[in-house]
Structure 1
Amino acid sequence: MYTEDLLSIIKKRRSVFPPQYNQEEITREELALIFEAANWAPSHKKTEPWRFVVLEGPSKDRFREYVKRVYVQGTPTDQLNDRKINALIEKCDKSNKIVLINFINLEKNPEWEELAATSMAVQNMWLMATALNIGAYWSSPANVIANVDEFTTMEEGEKCVGVFYMGKHDGDLLEGSRQPAESKVKFLEY
């Protein structure tokens, strides 16, 4: 791969939201590539703390009901919003795959390092998904991730830090923009 190709994929990576997804299936082969990319993220002391739970079929339907229940239970009655409930349902229904982003802290490193390693694994997933024309979106709804052990069994020390919605999409995405890299880099020469 040429450096320009890699930089092009990095620049094309976007948050692609569930309403933009079509109904085309993400294959097991594509998922294998995405998780293989994640698996090559760096981690201090080689802890490889990232853990992923793929939801599809009936488990995706159960997750939709879980998300709805957590929202309703955690929101004062006078603040409940049907539009918000419908948006939560739509995210689940329009996503072909939903991935719970977890990490396990084995107490070998500070927790922030394990979270950083997991974030790098997700970035690798996102880049591979971009190369495969699969849209993705990382969401971190506080009540959902804090109570995910009500939805699925977690290992000792495992913590959920997000929900990765995925789906294939049609058409071009908006071009991204960033401030110049030079404005964020300082060279010390003394």
Structure 2
Amino acid sequence: MDALDLLLNRVSVTRLVEPAPSAEQLQLMFRAALRAPDHGQLRPWRFLTIEGQARDRLGELFAEALRLRQPDASEEVLQKPRKMPLRAPMLVAVIARPVPHPKVPEVEQLLAVSCAAHGLLLAAHAQGLGAVWRTGEFAYDRHVAEGLGLTAGEQLLGFIYLGTPEGGLRIPPALEPKDFVEQWSGESSL
């Protein structure tokens, strides 16, 4: 796939079915992720792959987190978080692990991890796979983070759901750069 075609046509795919990415496809996705801009070459990221029965365990972890926040939640309400990880055959947890550095603030390191996740999304699309980056309440829940084994200094930035697009890839809407880009004249607008 041509690089510009990839950049102009990547879309999030929410309807994902088997098969999950192969080991070779996954390796290419992680190799692409590791090429993210990384001031200081700190590599402030790590990833967890979640597939098979581990998806069921993640769903239970989500349900536990919800029960801790809402002790009166009914079994019916707890079923939704249990099913969330089953929407794709594979998930990748994106984890930021910033390190103290005199010239690279934590925010730059979080941006680097986000770029790594985007590289993974692009590499999935380039291989004809479907992917969507999901966040939501469970991505920012401390119980979930602890259940996944994150340390005190690490931060979960979300989950990338991966699989085969059900029904193919959609065509992204055309966006016009002029709607988002302005030229700054160098003068203050105050």
Which TM-score band applies after superposition, normalised by the shorter structure?
0.7 to 0.9
Deviations 1:147-185 (A, max 9, x none): 233312224522111111111124333321243113322
Contact 1:91 1:165 survives alignment (8 Å): no
Give the number of equivalent residue pairs: 183
- Read off the aligned partner of 2:44 and give its amino acid letter: P
2:39 aligned residue: 44
Q: TM-score, normalised by structure 1?
A: 0.83
**Among residues 9, 22, 33, which one is paired with 2:6 in the alignment?**
9
Decide which structure has greater helix share: 1
Structure 1 residue ranges without an equivalent (≥5):
none
- CA–CA separation in structure 1 for the residues paired with 2:139 and 2:162: 17
Question: Relative to structure 1, is the Cα distance of residues 87 and 176 closer, same or farther in structure 2, using a 3 angstrom cutoff?
Answer: farther
2:81 aligned residue: 88
Contact 1:37 1:121 survives alignment (8 Å): yes
Deviations 1:75-119 (A, max 9, x none): 3637x693x644433331231111111011101122211111111
* SS of the residue 2:168 aligns to: coil
**Among residues 56, 61, 66, which one is paired with 1:66 in the alignment?**
61
- Which aligned pairs between 1:1-190 and structure 2 lie closer than 5 A? 5-17=2-14, 20-75=15-70, 77=72, 82=76, 85-108=78-101, 109-147=104-142, 148-155=144-151, 157-188=153-184
- CA–CA separation in structure 2 for the residues paired with 1:93 and 1:32: 22
- CA–CA separation in structure 1 for the residues paired with 2:20 and 2:133: 19
Q: TM-score, normalised by structure 2?
A: 0.83
Question: Relative to structure 1, is the Cα distance of residues 81 and 177 closer, same or farther in structure 2, using a 3 angstrom cutoff?
Answer: farther
* SS of the residue 2:93 aligns to: strand
Question: Relative to structure 1, is the Cα distance of residues 178 and 48 closer, same or farther in structure 2, using a 3 angstrom cutoff?
Answer: farther
* SS of the residue 1:45 aligns to: coil
What's the RMSD between the two structures over aligned residues?
Answer: 2.3
* SS of the residue 2:169 aligns to: coil
